[in-house]
Amino acid sequence: MDDVNKKLEDTCNFLHEVIREWLDDRDVVISCGRWADGAISEFVPEGRAQLLAAKYEGCFSGVRELRLPNAEHHLHVDLGRVHQVSYVVAPSVCLNFRPSMEVRFLTVGPGGAPTDRWSIAVLFSGHGNRDEFESAAGRFATRFRKHAARCPEMVSLQVEPDVQRSAAGKTILEVFQKTFSLRHSEWPSLLSELNKKHSLCDISEEVTPICVDLLKEAVKLPGASLVLYREKMLIEFQTDLISGVYRFEEFGHVSWQIGKTSEHHCHLSLTSVDRALFSAEPTDCQGGALNYSIWFLTSAPSGNPWRRNGYFSIVLNRPYKGDEPRTSVIKPLMELYNAYRDRSWVSADAAFKDACLNGPPARPKKVTGAPNAAS
């Protein structure tokens, strides 16, 4: 198992345990969706739900199934899309705008960028009297402490200002002060201390994107282009005019620059790429013949109308001369595939593999209609 898949597996195992521990609490519900999106569904596990073990491997190893006893209704959730466990206390319309203590599982968006949207959330179904409310706050604080200690880079705490100013917020504050032995801290200093301690600590060195070496070789391919395709926009950079791939840092933000600053160039978040696919697909732009490309794919949709998780691609511009394949252009792409095919994050579609095995096919002949029998 390579480092990327190992990290994904470890992260999903941690998230699995977080959810499982909360499912043991009889007073929580599982919420899916947000009011901002127009609908919410809720599961009421009553401490009896099961989160089944992973059934798949690789990029799908994060998929889990939540089952309720004696019920056909169930939930599938991809923990591989989660980038943060956010412990949140916020006013809730369901509680007449009293504080709701929630654990939101925030997901990545297009290009793998982190968002403040959540796929599921765990929240208390109701707090009843003051003793029940304090008990719930105590479990909320204790589990935050436990989970933040286990995986500090993925766990955060947020308390909305309206809650901080409320009487219920004062009760929750007292619970947190006791739990963390910060008895004289008010909300601003307490949140600063806990998030500094559990979310913003130095957790690891910068990770080099898995696709960097492949991309550096891909932009050297002759007669190709780096293609960024979005709704109503298509951008191409000819590889013959790209000088290389460079790490770029500005004000602490790291991206990867394709081409020198003095040239036409673009900046890409290569850490969002988790797979590469060598592809040979029939397309209109090749007159129905095979379009040879390398797709750099993300775990989440990237806004590409043709391939929803296609962040960008390297495409051979003219792989045919007339109807015959230009092997001088196609062969270097196949050699690049052979050099990287053993990497777990690299794959090829059936047409590309067939072209490697049997040679690139000629452009298919256009089919003409049969003569009109009446003529």
Tell me yes or no: is domain 3-198 CATH 3.40.1570.20. yes
User: Confidence class of residue 253 from pLDDT cuts 50, 70 and 90?
Assistant: low
d(CA 37, CA 223): 45
Res. 204: pLDDT tops 50 = no
Percentage of the chain lying above the pLDDT 90 cut? 41
Superfamily of domain 212-358: HemS/ChuS/ChuX like domains (3.40.1570.10)
Q: Which of 57-61, 255-259, 274-278, 320-324 has the lowest mean pLDDT?
A: 57-61
**Phi-psi region for residue 366, left (φ > 0), alpha (ψ -120 to 50) or beta?**
beta
Q: What is the pLDDT of residue 237?
A: 93
Which of 17, 71, 64, 16 is CA-nearest to residue 46? 71
Cβ–Cβ < 8 Å for 21, 88: no
* Backbone angle region of 96, left / alpha / beta, with phi > 0 → left and psi within -120 to 50 → alpha: left
Contacts of 240 (CB under 8 A, 6+ apart): 222, 223
pTM of this prediction exceeds 0.75: no
Where are the domains positioned within the chain? 3-198, 212-358
What is the pLDDT, as a whole number, of residue 232?
87
Per-residue model confidence (pLDDT) at position 147: 94
pLDDT over 70 (residue 275)? yes
297 has pLDDT over 80: yes
Distance in angstroms (rounded) separating the CA atoms of residues 212 and 219: 11
50/23 Cα distance (integer angstroms): 8
The token pair at 189 is 């200093």
For residues 36 and 133, the model is more confident at: 133
Same fold, 3-198 and 212-358: yes
Q: Quick one: average pLDDT of 9-31?
A: 91
Calculate what percentage of the chain has a pLDDT beyond 70: 89
